Amino acid sequence: MQNYNYKKLWHNLRSSRIEHCSEMFSCNHNKIVVKAEHSLVSQGTEKLLLTQKLNGITYNKMKVPYLEGEFGTDFTYGYSLSGYILDGPTNVQNRKVHLMHPHQELAFVNLNDVVFIEDCDLKTASLASNVETALNAIWDSGFSIGENVLIIGYGMIGALLAAILKAGNPGELSIIEKDQNRLDLCVKHGFNAANNTINMSNEYDIIFNTTSSQEGLQLAIDNAGFESKIIELSWYGNTDLNLKLGDKFHYNRVKIISSQVSNLPPSKMGRWDPKRRKRMVFNILQTTDLAHLLTREVPFDQTPEFYDQLRNGKVNDIGVTIKY
């Protein structure tokens, strides 16, 4: 598979197109131009796309708003971008916004596809889509105050889960992370963590697996107690798994629950919709310290080199943003 063709996009989407914005949108008050400031790299998802570890059915499900091109050739991707409105109706110009959009310096979009940002800086706002994923997973788990929680994997989703759950008063909150650099960062952030297993006086009520690995899911199964819930956030693509289910899994009545942000949990559908969930996300961003999870910033014109590193497994940062 070829690299994202960012260099071509980078040249095509600069000032020459800005000059035509007003003419393009003068007859449609629902159209705006967003000048990007930051977009968050979803490392696991984007690496799977780069390395083509998907089947045809999944390809169709993974298309994002405003994607250009086709998977398997040249395409644009990304889905958490923040910036300000460069052109559009007078009453919204210069306002800060977040939207689902590929990594791109200028976004030509519908006004109703953006969320206005008030009390949140644009770099932190780029976390919004992943915070939404973490929030949805916590809802899927049915977490209650005082329950013992284990998070396997301290990447971006694992770190967001830990930060949000810590504010929710768990009984015990522990993290397993095999990468030493991420483990050190996890401990620095104040969490009880180890690289393989953790001795606890109580069994885990809820286990989140964020590793996208067979080993991570097996570790969750092996550490589950009676009627524990495992919330599986990993996306495996076309990778087959070989799990051992003949011991504790069966007799402990362990539940494995797939969590995917595209749909609200059934327990929330009566009162919540995606817009209300998004408002909750920005409340979390404004009240929870998450900016320290953004550990690397890549200038937009250096993204081809960065994606080569990502494809080859050479990116070890928790949170990577593209800076425009």
d(CA 4, CA 6): 6
pLDDT of residue 235: 80
Considering 250, 268, 286, which residue would you say is the last residue of a domain?
Answer: 268
Q: Are 30 and 110 in contact (CB under 8 A)?
A: yes
Q: What is the CATH number of the domain that holds 189?
A: 3.40.50.720
pLDDT band of residue 189 (cuts 50, 70, 90) is: very high
pLDDT band of residue 140 (cuts 50, 70, 90) is: very high
Same domain, 136 and 191: yes
Same domain, 110 and 207: no
Backbone angles phi, psi at 165, to 5 degrees: -65, -35
Q: What is the pTM of this model?
A: 0.86
Same domain, 217 and 231: yes
Residues of 118-131 as b/e, b for ≥16 C-beta within 10 angstroms?
eebebbbbbbbbbb
* Amino acid found at 48: L
36, β-bridge pairs: 83
pLDDT of residue 15: 38
Q: Is residue 279 part of a domain?
A: no
Dihedral sign of CA atoms 91, 96, 98, 99 in order = positive
Q: What is the mean pLDDT of residues 63-77?
A: 72
Q: Are 263 and 139 in contact (CB under 8 A)?
A: no
pLDDT of residue 205: 94
Considering 253, 268, 283, which residue would you say is the last residue of a domain?
Answer: 268
Domain boundaries, position 16: 6-126+294-323
Query: Which residues in 157-291 belong to E strands, given as ranges?
Result: 173-176, 192-194, 204-209, 224-232, 255-258
* Among 104, 57, 58, 49, residue whose Cα is nearest residue 79: 104
Same domain, 137 and 247: yes
Which whole-number Å values give the CA distances from 28 to 25, 34, 88, 100, 263, in the listed order? 5, 15, 9, 21, 31
d(CA 122, CA 114): 13
Q: What is the pLDDT of residues 28-65, one digit of tens each?
A: 678 999 999 999 998 888 887 777 776 666 666 667 77
pLDDT of residue 50: 76
Same domain, 147 and 122: no
Q: What is the mean pLDDT of residues 307-319?
A: 91
Q: Is residue 273 part of a domain?
A: no
Same domain, 197 and 180: yes
pLDDT of residue 269: 94
pLDDT of residue 195: 87
Q: Are 157 and 210 in contact (CB under 8 A)?
A: yes
Q: Is residue 285 part of a domain?
A: no
Same domain, 74 and 12: yes
Flag whether pLDDT at 146 surpasses 60.
yes
Between 18 and 215, name the one with better pLDDT: 215
Q: Is residue 17 part of a domain?
A: yes
Name the residue with tokens 């606890």: 200
d(CA 135, CA 300): 29
Between 277 and 66, name the one with better pLDDT: 277
Between 310 and 3, name the one with better pLDDT: 310
pLDDT of residue 191: 95
Share of the chain above pLDDT 70, in %: 85
d(CA 31, CA 109): 6
Q: Is residue 275 part of a domain?
A: no
d(CA 321, CA 231): 26
Q: Are 168 and 145 in contact (CB under 8 A)?
A: yes
pLDDT band of residue 237 (cuts 50, 70, 90) is: confident
Same domain, 105 and 205: no
Same domain, 119 and 143: no
pLDDT band of residue 18 (cuts 50, 70, 90) is: very low
d(CA 12, CA 5): 11
- Lowest mean pLDDT of 1-10, 203-212, 229-238, name the range: 1-10
Same domain, 73 and 166: no
Same domain, 51 and 69: yes
Q: What is the CATH number of the domain that holds 42?
A: 3.90.180.10
Q: What is the pLDDT of residues 208-218, one digit of tens each?
A: 999 999 999 99
What's the gap between Cα 70 and its chain centre? 22
pLDDT band of residue 132 (cuts 50, 70, 90) is: very high
pLDDT of residue 153: 96
Q: Is residue 282 part of a domain?
A: no
pLDDT of residue 161: 98
d(CA 323, CA 305): 14
Same domain, 150 and 261: yes
What's the gap between Cα 230 and its chain centre? 19
Q: Is residue 195 part of a domain?
A: yes
Structure tokens of 119?
A: 């009390």
pLDDT band of residue 275 (cuts 50, 70, 90) is: very high
d(CA 295, CA 230): 28
Number of domains within the chain = 2
